């Protein structure tokens, strides 16, 4: 039997090779802004967010279409659906997610995921003062800035290698900035999972061929409002560079109908040097870890750490520097096919002014049925 220890390096090497090649070509044209399409990296599902976004080797329901589509083949029911709504940064940012998945046969499965992250009711006050120099509040208009993504997933078992599953996503992206501009994009993700005993390993390659966003700008909306130092935007192409996540997890049974699960992910970005534990101009690596304790597969307690960042003491609000993680906690209940998961995560590594830590509560609802 071919072991994952031989498969993973080959897949990772091939993926990184392709990713770095496209990275160098794209960066030579200066079309690759850092954090491009980063709304797709916030995460989905209360279970995942409560475990520090560690899911590449674990996902086994409809959320696998986002985390690693190969996990769709671990689904225990014929149909599965997940809904999530969260309001980030004191409700300013709305994050909505819906997903559905089902097996086609014993060897394959499909899924669809829809994501929206947006800020609504933004006031446009450019016309607040009328032609007579008077303030007229009825001249204020409102617009939204929102990002959308549709992911279509397909997963299949590899019959010649027991426990090996391969999958891919085709994704369509739409980004809108009111009447000022919008962009359409398309990209491809690839995922693999391998199960052996109590161990499960996974590799997710996002934007494996790079993802292209073509921006269309309504220049007329900017005329007469830009000052002498501002340039009017023009139509352009934005490229999202590949991101690789390698994960491993181990589950064990404990006395008293308890179960324990521990997982580790290594997220590797290729869009330049980042503020991560391991970083270089070619690849930056951000480790994530999560744990889950379950009782009778009914009640679950979760915790995780991710997004390690080095804080400069001179620029910190509390005057303390050093490496700081983003912690998260979660709880879940599952019965009769229904899953209710809640997560509490800190979106900011340190305090923001006098507002304290920027915490967010995320709730997701899932249901699997035959």
Note the pLDDT of residue 316: 63
- Per-residue pLDDT of 194-231, as tens digits, reads 998 889 999 999 999 899 899 999 888 877 565 556 67
Q: In 10 A of CB 196, how many CB atoms? A: 14
Q: In 10 A of CB 363, how many CB atoms? A: 14
User: Which portions of the chain are predicted below pLDDT 70?
Assistant: 1-30, 224-230, 313-319, 346-359, 370
Note the pLDDT of residue 68: 97
- Rounded CA separation 90/359 (Å): 8
Beta strands 299-311 and 278-279 are unpaired
For residue 223, the 8-state DSSP code is T
Nearest CA-CA partner of 50 in 361, 314, 366, 308: 361
Say if CB 186 and CB 173 are below 8 A apart.
yes
Q: What sign for the dihedral angle of Cα 170, 177, 37, 18?
A: positive
Q: Which three-class secondary structure state does DSSP give residue 241?
A: coil
Note the pLDDT of residue 227: 55
Q: What sign for the dihedral angle of Cα 307, 308, 309, 313?
A: positive
Which structural domain, as residue segments, surrounds residue 248? 4-224+231-369
Q: Indicate which CATH number applies to the domain containing 308.
A: 2.40.160.40
- Rounded CA separation 271/248 (Å): 24
DSSP H/E element including 166: strand 164-177
Note the pLDDT of residue 25: 38
* Reduced 3-state DSSP string for 263-291: EEEEEEECCCCCCCCEECCCCEEEEEEEE
- Per-residue pLDDT of 69-78, as tens digits, reads 999 999 989 9
- Rounded CA separation 292/118 (Å): 31
Q: In 10 A of CB 270, how many CB atoms? A: 23
- Rounded CA separation 110/370 (Å): 16
- Rounded CA separation 133/127 (Å): 11
Number of domain units in the chain: 1
């Amino acid at each position: 039997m071919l072991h994952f220890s031989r498969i993973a390096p080959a897949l990772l090497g091939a993926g990184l090779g392709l990713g770095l090649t496209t990275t160098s070509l794209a960066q030579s044209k200066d079309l690759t802004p850092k954090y491009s399409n980063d709304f797709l990296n916030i995460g989905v599902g209360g279970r995942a967010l409560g475990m520090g976004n560690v899911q590449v080797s674990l996902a086994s329901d409809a959320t696998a279409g986002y985390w690693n589509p190969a996990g769709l083949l671990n689904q225990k029911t014929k149909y599965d659906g997940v809904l999530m709504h969260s309001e980030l940064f004191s409700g300013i940012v709305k994050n909505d997610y819906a997903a559905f998945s089902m097996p086609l046969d014993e060897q394959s499965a499909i899924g669809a995921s829809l994501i929206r992250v947006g800020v609504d009711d933004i006031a446009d006050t450019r016309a607040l003062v009328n032609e007579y120099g008077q303030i007229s509040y009825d001249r204020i208009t409102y617009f939204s800035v929102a990002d959308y993504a549709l992911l279509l997933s397909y997963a299949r078992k590899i019959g010649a290698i027991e426990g090996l599953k391969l999958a891919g996503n085709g994704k369509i992206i739409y980004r809108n900035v009111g009447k000022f501009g919008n962009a359409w994009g398309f990209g491809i993700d690839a995922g693999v999972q391998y199960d052996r005993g109590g161990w499960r390993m996974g590799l997710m390659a996002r934007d494996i061929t790079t993802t292209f966003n073509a921006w269309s700008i309504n220049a007329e909306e900017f005329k007469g409002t830009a000052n002498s130092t501002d340039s009017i935007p023009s139509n352009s192409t934005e490229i999202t560079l590949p991101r690789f996540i390698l994960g491993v997890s181990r589950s064990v049974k404990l006395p008293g109908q308890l179960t324990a699960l521990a997982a580790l992910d290594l997220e590797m970005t290729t869009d330049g040097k980042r503020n991560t534990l391991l970083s270089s101009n070619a690849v930056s690596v951000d480790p994530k870890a999560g744990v889950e304790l379950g009782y009778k597969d009914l009640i679950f307690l979760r915790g995780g750490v991710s997004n390690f960042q080095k804080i400069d003491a001179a620029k910190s609000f509390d005057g303390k520097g050093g490496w700081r993680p983003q912690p998260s906690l979660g709880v879940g209940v599952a019965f009769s096919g229904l899953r209710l998961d809640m997560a509490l995560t800190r979106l900011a590594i340190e305090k923001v002014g006098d507002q304290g830590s920027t915490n967010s509560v995320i709730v997701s609802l899932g249901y699997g049925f035959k």
